[in-house]
Structure 1
């Protein structure tokens, strides 16, 4: 892109006015966004002992993730930020004034620091921005080889698969045989299929949409990778916490809060999440969603280009889904 207002040659030898091109804001990027938890209100309702066990199990894996990031950076000190996601979308328990101090105290007891705290409802709507709806509008389904378009698109059904669903059995017409059963097929199967059909949202009788946990988690990953934009501006930008306490209402807490002074950037080239193993099917669905989202091309180029300049041999993969990693621990 040339300087604003100056003409630039296009691919056909013509010219265009670059001042008219939409601007896509860049965001600061750490090397790694390390998620220390993604718990629901029932976890907090169980009291500090549940959080204490969680962080005790998280700590060794968080240290391993840091060591891996250091090795990937060639021994240099990588920029690593930590984050924690609280569910205030599906259920609400207590208040930020009660929950957040307990969370931070138990993390500190385990020797962990939470740099950024996010509310899951912010992955659905942030301010006036319908984040989840905008991401859903970028779904580009990958049709399985040999499919005939019999299945309605995800934008109509709210279901997204990583392959072709087995055809439904139908009663045979007179003088015709019933069609033979066929199994579902994963599009990119390796020897055998692992087929997944993920529900992205549900709707009530009045058409009100409730986004699914996997879809909101996919939005969360895009935010952590610095790939969310709305009209060119970054979405889910952290706001520093001010004051001594936290509000009595979840809606009064910013969607993304910076809790420490001068941490590494919230978004990063790569993410790692340390989670209880009950999240394994959810995160499988997250990868299916990310593989079929058309991410903002400029935001993607910004992150990819800067990663290659910084990390050289350890630059991020082209696939967005391959930029995320997990550690799943057993039990609660």
Structure 2
């Protein structure tokens, strides 16, 4: 006779399964100065975005069939500046998107990538960074959690590195080039600033780092104690109107009640060309983030059940179109 086994309820924390779309389609990420430029600037943005968004949607349908699940999202920068209020800016944003034939399913605040209620997604991602020491590294560079910098290889030594040792030997300092880990013939070395210190010890997260958190959220790869980090709230829950204060706006707002799930197997972002270096940094970050094994297995199992094979590396699940500035 088999004896019953009793366990603490918290001994095996459950990993919440997220509903997933096939594609998360980002329709833009604008700064407050873009909003300050007025309706014409927003209309030009969405008119430029539309053909790229249509092409991405059509490609997804060719791959997944008529029942393809595509959700759209838009990220508003309320982290680095707040020139106006949601009740003034967001209706204008939605109206100009609709006028250009573009539908926004989810509206997200960039500050929600730093803090969402009691949770701090940025801190969680920082704690999951797993740096890959490049060949030949001597351990002299402090880890990213201490320095606030993350690279995709080995930085070339400067004249000050080992200056004292060279002076003792009487030899001039020797320059050496930086090198990219896994470079193909030639290196494209990148060193990414993750955060800086503000007053009173508060961190100011960098745009590339928050953009990396944003991609991880869209790919459904972040959990807190097994639970989802962001939960979309419906605009109807706010009485159908945007609040006067940014802090009263949910980190993730669902504008369309019939929208497919926010998170997806893959992401596609239509962005101005000025974001090209930012997204290069995002790919470096995605390649050095440890995702919980249960989360990875859960997403891959669900994908397999739909006949999908996902790229094993997270950077290969994020895709882009860098459109020209209007």
CA distance 1:205–1:97, change in 2 (3 Å) = closer
Quick one: distance in 1 between partners of 2:169 and 2:268?
58
* Residue 209 of structure 1: how far off its partner (Å): 0.5
1:303 CA displacement: 1.1
Corresponding position of 1:109: 99
Asked whether the equivalents of residues 235 and 241 of structure 2 are also in contact (C-alpha less than 8 Å), the reply is: no
| Alignment equivalent of 1:191, drawn from 174, 182, 185 | 185
Provide the aligned length of Structure 1 versus Structure 2: 317
Which one of 227, 239, 243 corresponds to residue 233 of structure 1? 227
Question: 1:162 is matched with which residue: 145, 152, 155?
Answer: 152
Distance, in Å, in 1 between the alignment partners of 2:296 and 2:278 is: 24
Residues in 2 aligned to 1:297 and 1:327: alpha-carbon distance in whole angstroms: 30
User: What is the CA distance between 1:244 and its match in structure 2?
Assistant: 3.1
Distance 1:275 1:58 in 2: 8
Residue number in structure 2 paired with 1:38: 29
> Partners in 1 of 2:62 and 2:78 — Cα distance?
36
The RMSD of aligned alpha carbons is 1.5
* TM-score, normalised via structure 2 length: 0.94
Q: What pairs up with 1:23-102 in 2 under 5 angstroms?
A: 23-73=14-64, 75-102=65-92
Give the Cα separation in 2 of the matches to 1:180 and 1:308: 52
**Do the aligned partners of 2:50 and 2:100 also contact (CA within 8 Å) in 1?**
yes
Q: Deviations over 1:80-129 (max 9, x none)?
A: 00000000000002111111110111110111110000000000000011
Q: Which runs of 4+ in 1 moved over 3 A?
A: 16-19
What are structure 2's unaligned runs of at least 5 residues?
A: none
Q: Does 1:266 align with 2:262?
A: yes
Partner of 2:318: 324
Q: CA deviation at 1:18?
A: 8.5
Counterparts of 1:130-149 in structure 2, within 5 Å, are 130-149=120-139
1:6–1:18 contact (8 Å) kept in structure 2? no
Q: Distance in 2 between matches of 1:93 and 1:25?
A: 37
Post-superposition CA distance 1:138-195 (Å, at most 9, x none): 1100110111111011000000000000012134314431242100000011110000
Which residues of structure 1 form unaligned runs of 5+? 8-15
User: What TM-score, normalized to structure 1?
Assistant: 0.92
Paired residues of 1:6 and 1:17 also in contact (CA < 8 A)? no
Q: Distance in 1 between matches of 2:223 and 2:168?
A: 55
Matches within 5 A, 1:290-305: 290-305=286-301
